[in-house]
A and B are shown apart, each in its own frame.
Chain A
Amino acid sequence: MNIKTTMLSMAAVAGVAMGTSAAAMDCETITLGAAISLTGKYATNGVHAQNGYEFAITKIKENGGIMVDDQCYNFNVIYYDDESKGDRGATLAERLIQQDGVQYMLGPYSSGLTKAIAPVTEKYQIPMVEAEGASRSLFNQGYKYLFAVLSTSEQYLASAITLAAEKAEAQGRAASDVTVAIAVENDPFSLDIRAGVMEDAERYGMKIVVDEKLPRDLSDMTSILTKVKLVKPDVLVVSGHSKGAATAVRQIGEQGVKVPMIAITHCEAADVVGNFGENAEDFLCSTQWAETLTYEDPIFGSAANYEQEFKANYTEYAEKTVPYQTAQASAAVYVFKDAFERAGTLDKDAVRDAIAETDLKTFYGDIKFSEAGNNIAKPMVLRQIQDGKYNVVAPSAFASHEVNWPRN
């Protein structure tokens, strides 16, 4: 005991002498597990999420690691590629828990994969903090070990519908005259986006004039757009992860579709500005997080600082807007750090209880979980692509710019 203490204090002295990075060397490791889409249709966002996890792990390490009961730890993640397939994800989660002995999980990418993996983590009572599954259908299963740092999907485009109503009223039309066209991927996330838009539209008495599903490979929506051109709706809503966003922006441009307001998801993740330039102008993009918001925390600093440092570490993002998928993945790791420190033990059930009591201010926004496990403390914001920049236009409490309307 004495020897150990002496050695520890010697190490501490050495650490001070050699700078902060040396102190990190005495830390032990907490192993997290994650099945993530590195190939398949969600590969783009799977990689965004993985980068977010890794960046957070590095930052936490630089800031002295995780202190649990006076012992310092660092995170390490075992990743497996789920190939964007649910049954594969479930098998891998099983393997992480059973064979690799993982006691804490980070989420996969997409609601669908989270839905496939959550039953497994629940079964083994393994706490999972996920950052990429937003469908409400995840939070009505009675799960006790599932926690999500992001806002649920029905909130993604709610402010777009509100904006459309406001614009109609400003023009002297009734909000109920607004017509809405919806084209979504047939998956849990986008179906919940659709459900949310329909609920909001119904509240204003708006009419849904097009309600279509994108084809399963998300690479062509020309027939839907032809219909949109004929029907001339006031609002067009498209949701289909990154690939759906890319297809929408490209083909809306190619076909010269003129709709006063177009709202989509995953603009930043698909880098629509970098890939399609002019065509992306005036698109409304829902986002979980924006680097211009005034959130901050002691690890990552402000939201703007997060973006800057992340770009410095991952140079492939230098020319792009850092997608919120990355930010929320980092936030999930931060939730684990906070929970471990509050729990003061590595016991997974104690950690689970600590996660449930999270009340954290982060660069990504406030995090506080409902009984069902979703984050109820953070709003969604809506940005518009204006001159190639993402500017927050709604809700009004966060808006930095006026919305350009109508789009032409």
Chain B
Amino acid sequence: MSKNWILYIALLAITVAAPFLFPSYTAFLATLWLFIVVAQAWDMTGGQMGYNSLGNIFFYGTGMYAGAVFAIGLYYNVGEWTDASRSEIFSFTAGQYYTGMVVGIIGAGLFCGLCALIIGPLFFGLRGPYFAIGTLGLAIAAGEIVSNIEWLGGGQGISMPHSPLHPDFEKVLIYFLFAGLGVVLFIFCKWFYSTRFGAAINAIRDDEEKAEAMGIHTLRYKTITWAISAVFVGAAGAVSAFQLIHFEPLETAYQTINLGIFMVVCVLLGGKGTLWGPVIGAILFHVFKEVTWNYFLGGQWVALGLLIVIIVVFFQDGLMGYLKHRRPEWFGIKVESKDKEAAA
């Protein structure tokens, strides 16, 4: 136990020190934390509850837009702000910017949680591939709808107010927003999976009919879990909005084939249904992606496709699952050795 605490404190220290130790990699590390957040949040339903959503990017995109609307809407009319032909220039004071940022991120999280509570009952009637495709449809439809809402800027997207901070400090701020979300989510998950609620969603994954028969109100558990996951993804989306400054609906906010799939790949790579799997998967995936995107330009998508095929064919349980199988003692699982068996 004490050994674990030392590990956690060391990791936290690294997290805090990283942007100061490697200042030119701050943006890279910030994106890494984004991947960790969305992967961990995806695993809450995908790994722990057995509901593989391909549409969690819906909460990311909605979080971006909700963050923008809250942050801008506090001070200006969003419709006027997005009007391409306006000649007036709207400016934000530092106080307005930070108030907007706090309200935007928290508001986006809550709004996405609320969305999940509303749409959850509609989708949790679906199982397996139907749930996956259904949620994917939700994300695609949302992107198309938002791209036709002129009030939100339609297909030309929406620009966020400009940060009053020097870019070097702003990058560190964005890093800590993502990292903070990641750390809070990790601690939350560690606690959450140890509760009766966590046991209940595991039961739903293992056998939903039996869970239902044991008196678990499955729909309620599923919807609440998805909503919690949506809060974090939505908040991460809002932070991304402040990071990117300008974004548009189809390629950036509701980017189903990029981040929408990447978050699933991260979890598959690391190991579904484990606490550390999504974190490790996100780190491996992000590094792999940056390396291929920088050094194998042109072949990056092929390399990525190959990686996905290899994971799905050879490492279905991900890295954590593989290690658990090969080195069970690392996970506190005692295995009688074969020699003993033979002797007995």
| A135 and B156 within 8 A (CB) | yes
23 CB < 8 A contacts A-B: A87-B244, A87-B251, A87-B255, A90-B244, A98-B27, A99-B24, A112-B156, A112-B248, A119-B162, A123-B162, A135-B84, A137-B84, A137-B85, A140-B88, A142-B89, A142-B91, A185-B155, A186-B154, A188-B156, A191-B84, A191-B156, A213-B155, A216-B250
Provide the residues of chain A in CB contact with B255, threshold 8 Å. Answer: 87
Interface digits, A170-196 against B, CB 8 Å rule (1 contact, 0 not)? 000000000000000111100110010
With A119-B162, A123-B163 already in contact, the answer to whether A86 and B156 are too (CB < 8 A) is no
| B157 and A188 within 8 A (CB) | yes
Complex Cα distance, B244 from A85, in Å, reads 12
Complex Cα distance, B246 from A115, in Å, reads 7
Residues of B within 8 A of A (CB): 24, 27, 84-89, 91, 147-148, 154-157, 159-160, 162-163, 167, 170, 244-248, 250-252, 255, 297-298
Complex Cα distance, B85 from A199, in Å, reads 10
| B159 and A192 within 8 A (CB) | no
| A122 and B162 within 8 A (CB) | yes
Task: List A371-406 residues whose CB lies under 8 Å from chain B.
Answer: none
| B155 and A140 within 8 A (CB) | no
Residue of B at shortest CB range from A190?
Answer: B155
Asked if A154 is at the interface (CB within 8 A of a chain B CB), the reply is yes
Given contacts A87-B247, A120-B245, 7 further A-B contacts (CB under 8 A): A86-B157, A94-B27, A98-B27, A115-B246, A122-B162, A123-B170, A124-B167
Asked if A296 is at the interface (CB within 8 A of a chain B CB), the reply is no
Task: List A228-269 residues whose CB lies under 8 Å from chain B.
Answer: none
Asked if A48 is at the interface (CB within 8 A of a chain B CB), the reply is no
Chain A residues with a Cβ closer than 8 Å to the other chain, count:
38
Asked if A226 is at the interface (CB within 8 A of a chain B CB), the reply is no
Complex Cα distance, B27 from A90, in Å, reads 11
With A115-B159, A140-B89, A191-B155 already in contact, the answer to whether A186 and B84 are too (CB < 8 A) is no
Asked if A81 is at the interface (CB within 8 A of a chain B CB), the reply is yes
Residues of A within 8 A of B (CB): 39, 81, 84-87, 90-91, 94, 98-99, 111-112, 115-116, 118-120, 122-124, 135-137, 140-142, 154, 185-188, 191-192, 195, 199, 213, 216
With A122-B162, A213-B148 already in contact, the answer to whether A86 and B247 are too (CB < 8 A) is yes
Residue A119 contacts which of B86, B155, B246, B252 (CB distance < 8 angstroms)? B246
| B246 and A195 within 8 A (CB) | no
Complex Cα distance, B252 from A86, in Å, reads 7
B294 CB → nearest A CB, Å: 9
| A192 and B84 within 8 A (CB) | yes
Provide the residues of chain B in CB contact with A99, threshold 8 Å. Answer: 24
Provide the residues of chain B in CB contact with A185, threshold 8 Å. Answer: 155
| A115 and B157 within 8 A (CB) | yes
Provide the residues of chain A in CB contact with B85, threshold 8 Å. Answer: 136-137, 154, 192, 195, 199
Residue B155 contacts which of A39, A85, A116, A187 (CB distance < 8 angstroms)? A187
Residue A188 contacts which of B155, B162, B163 (CB distance < 8 angstroms)? B155
Complex Cα distance, B250 from A299, in Å, reads 42
Residue of A at shortest CB range from B293?
Answer: A88
Provide the residues of chain A in CB contact with B167, threshold 8 Å. Answer: 123-124
Complex Cα distance, B89 from A124, in Å, reads 20
Closest 5 CB pairs of A and B: A186-B155, A188-B156, A119-B245, A137-B84, A142-B89
Residue of B at shortest CB range from A124?
Answer: B167
Complex Cα distance, B183 from A223, in Å, reads 50
Provide the residues of chain A in CB contact with B251, threshold 8 Å. Answer: 84-87
B2 CB → nearest A CB, Å: 41
Provide the residues of chain B in CB contact with A192, threshold 8 Å. Answer: 84-85, 156
With A87-B252, A123-B167, A216-B250 already in contact, the answer to whether A188 and B84 are too (CB < 8 A) is yes
Complex Cα distance, B170 from A195, in Å, reads 35
Complex Cα distance, B87 from A191, in Å, reads 17
B241 CB → nearest A CB, Å: 11
Residue of A at shortest CB range from B150?
Answer: A191
| A115 and B84 within 8 A (CB) | no
Complex Cα distance, B155 from A112, in Å, reads 9
Residue of B at shortest CB range from A138?
Answer: B84
Complex Cα distance, B299 from A39, in Å, reads 12
Provide the residues of chain B in CB contact with A94, threshold 8 Å. Answer: 27
A134 CB → nearest B CB, Å: 11
| B27 and A86 within 8 A (CB) | no
Provide the residues of chain A in CB contact with B159, threshold 8 Å. Answer: 115, 119, 137, 141
Residue A191 contacts which of B154, B246, B297 (CB distance < 8 angstroms)? B154
| A86 and B246 within 8 A (CB) | yes
Complex Cα distance, B89 from A295, in Å, reads 34
Complex Cα distance, B156 from A86, in Å, reads 11
B166 CB → nearest A CB, Å: 9
Complex Cα distance, B145 from A216, in Å, reads 13
Provide the residues of chain A in CB contact with B147, threshold 8 Å. Answer: 186, 216
Complex Cα distance, B24 from A135, in Å, reads 32
| A136 and B155 within 8 A (CB) | no
